């Protein structure tokens, strides 16, 4: 199992909308995530930052992420959620959700 964490900024004027749409994530988006071996997925918010954590249980992370990105329902979902977000200042060029490095873990 691979643990994956990432961060992005939440536009302050979009926080209420972001919370509302995530209260009812589309079933097709959830199905796509499950098919891509994503489990234990959470998004947290604090002080204008979104922090996501997920566990990946597959054998080809890059292929599964490409499958998520190719999914039409997920692409439509991103058209709605994308305007609520903006990359953190330290994100690499073209990077949306910036990966966070694990510095501690307790099982």
Three-state DSSP string of 16-83? HHHHHHHCCCCHHHHHHHHHCCEEEEEEEEECCEEEEEEEECCCCHHHHHHHHHHCHHHHHHHHHHHH
**Which residues make Cβ contacts (< 8 Å) with residue 68, sequence separation at least 6?**
32, 33, 36, 38, 74
Which of 19, 22, 34, 35 is flagged as catalytic? 22
β 2-10/38-46 pair status: unpaired
Is 105 catalytic? The answer is: no
Which active-site residues does the annotation give?
22
């Amino acid at each position: 199992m691979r643990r994956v964490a990432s961060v992005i900024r939440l536009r302050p004027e979009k926080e209420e909308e972001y919370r509302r749409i995530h209260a009812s994530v589309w079933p097709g988006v959830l199905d796509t995530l499950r098919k891509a071996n994503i489990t234990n997925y959470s998004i947290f918010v604090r002080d204008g930052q979104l922090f996501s954590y997920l566990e990946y249980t597959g054998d080809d992370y890059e292929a599964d992420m490409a499958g998520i990105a190719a999914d039409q329902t997920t692409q439509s979902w991103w058209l709605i959620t994308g305007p609520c977000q903006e990359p953190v200042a330290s994100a690499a060029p073209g990077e949306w959700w910036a990966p966070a490095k694990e510095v501690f873990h307790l099982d």
